[in-house]
Amino acid sequence: MEIALRFFSKSFYYLYVTLFFLIVQLSAFTALSQNSYAISKARLIKTLKTRVIDKSYTQNIDRFYSTTCDSLIKKKVTIDNKPIKDILIRLFDICNSKLNTKAVTLLRIPSINRDFLLTVTTYKNASIVNLYKNINITKSNILQYVFEGLLLGDSIKTINGLREMLHDPYYISSSIMLPQYAAYQDSLLYALANGAPDLLIKKLAANDTLYTRLVDNSTSKSVRAITQIKMDEFYERILPFSLALYENRITKDSIKN
């Protein structure tokens, strides 16, 4: 009995010590997090107030950083199980960095904050695709960084990638096979066919199995018309006429005349 009591006392002591150190570490981590949040926010606000814009701007800044952000933390909002405080720190840091490098102006910050809030309130209930169609690429990249490492960040990255490829079709050829773009392959193929037809035809001429399969499965008239053209010395002359014929915008007789 005495041995059992000693064993129990010893076990209880080790458990107590372990719990004590865990509590100390947790308290230190919480204090560090609070300190990082306060420092990041204060640093950004100082940058934002280096110039006096107008009363409305100042009120907007004060309301977001003093009321809205603190309210999100008090409500214990999380994004993909990550505390909103950690995400806000990334928002503060990236905005301050972009301001210091003049990548964005002071006037851009309120709209970045607004789009941040719209993202937080939208993503659980609806697709963010329509929202990000109206957000320019500079702000989209900032928000991609803010949510990096989360599923939401992955979604923003996919949208940004699509926008970049549609802006410059030459990027499509190296990215269209990535799994995150599987749902958009036909749309990207259409963009490639119209934006960089020479690249698509070269892929088919090289018997690229992926592009052959994509073209075979495509229902786009433009894709089918362009891929029927061969890469020869008459390619550039034939391409516009071939596409117009396939889409019934002109007739063979009108070309002859």
| pLDDT, position 242 | 53
Question: End-to-end CA distance of the chain, in Å?
Answer: 112
| pLDDT, position 1 | 56
| pLDDT, position 30 | 45
CA angle 47, 53, 58 (to 5 degrees): 70
d(CA 72, CA 91): 14
Q: Nearest-CA neighbor of 82 among 133, 120, 118, 26? A: 120
d(CA 145, CA 139): 10
| pLDDT, position 236 | 56
Regions in the chain scoring below 70 on pLDDT: 1-34, 230-257
| pLDDT, position 174 | 75
3-state secondary structure 117-169: HHHHHHCCCCCCHHHHHCCCHHHHHHHHHHCCCCHHHHHHHHHHHHHHHHHCH
Confirm whether pTM is higher than 0.85. no
